[in-house]
Amino acid sequence: MEKLEQRIRQEGLILSDKVLKVDSFLNHQVDTRLALEIGQEFARIFAGRGITKVLTIEASGIQFAMAAGIALDVPFLYAKKKKAVTLTENLFTSEVVSFTRGETYQVSISQSYLTPQDRVLIVDDFLATGAALVGLVDIVKQSGAELRGVGCVIEKSFQEGRGLLEALGVEVHSLARIASMRPGEVTYVREAEA
């Protein structure tokens, strides 16, 4: 997605060779128009797959899952990072090792909201090590729902996430695929090279 790639080049802060900060338009302050366009792009890519629900993980995937849900005219659901007191019913849970925080946490969703009749699109902001998304794939599997694909806003293609998901048989589409990055220089994977 050309517009997204440009914004990353213009506003992204490269904190290390592995960490990109995009707080001015994606992760802290959110460019709402861009978020809606991202949702429309996911809806275009995954059109015709009979998606009934968009699934993400709190907090940074929420605005994109909502945008995709609006564009596909289906609900979105976000996995919670720890058991909340309001989640008293039965849960699907999975363990995730956080890339940014370096800690292990549990993600869970209520069994009421994902059923074997659902066809799921998973959406998230970043694909890095893939740990968060593998956790969500596991939750979809537990529910008996059918996973129709994963959409990521930014993929750091030099990390192992895509390979891990593809090894699980999951179709992954990312709107900006970063091949490498260092201050002042971001290069993208072009589909022909991918």
Residues that bind ligand 5GP (CB under 6 A): 19-22, 27, 60, 99-100, 124-132, 161
Binding residues for xanthine are 20, 27, 156
Q: Report the residue number, 88 or 169, with the smaller CB distance to ligand 5GP.
A: 169
Give the separation between CA 60 and CA 86, rounded to whole angstroms: 21
Binding residues are 20, 27, 128-132, 156
Q: Report the residue number, 27 or 187, with the smaller CB distance to ligand 5GP.
A: 27
**Quick one: tokens of 74?**
């289906």
β-pair type (13-14, 53-57): unpaired
To ligand 5GP, the closest distance from the beta carbon of 50 in angstroms equals: 26
Report how far apart, in Å, the C-alpha atoms of 128 and of each of 19, 20, 31, 132 are: 9, 11, 22, 9
Sheet of strand 172-182, all strands in order from the earlier edge strand to the far edge: 76-79, 53-57, 119-127, 146-156, 172-182, 185-188
Give the separation between CA 56 and CA 61, rounded to whole angstroms: 6
To ligand 5GP, the closest distance from the beta carbon of 169 in angstroms equals: 18
To ligand 5GP, the closest distance from the beta carbon of 192 in angstroms equals: 25
Q: Report the residue number, 1 or 97, with the smaller CB distance to ligand 5GP.
A: 97
Q: Report the residue number, 106 or 116, with the smaller CB distance to ligand 5GP.
A: 106
To ligand 5GP, the closest distance from the beta carbon of 93 in angstroms equals: 16
- Under DSSP, is residue 55 helix (H, G, I), strand (E, B) or coil? strand
Query: Does residue 23 contact residue 29 with C-beta atoms inside 8 Å?
Result: yes
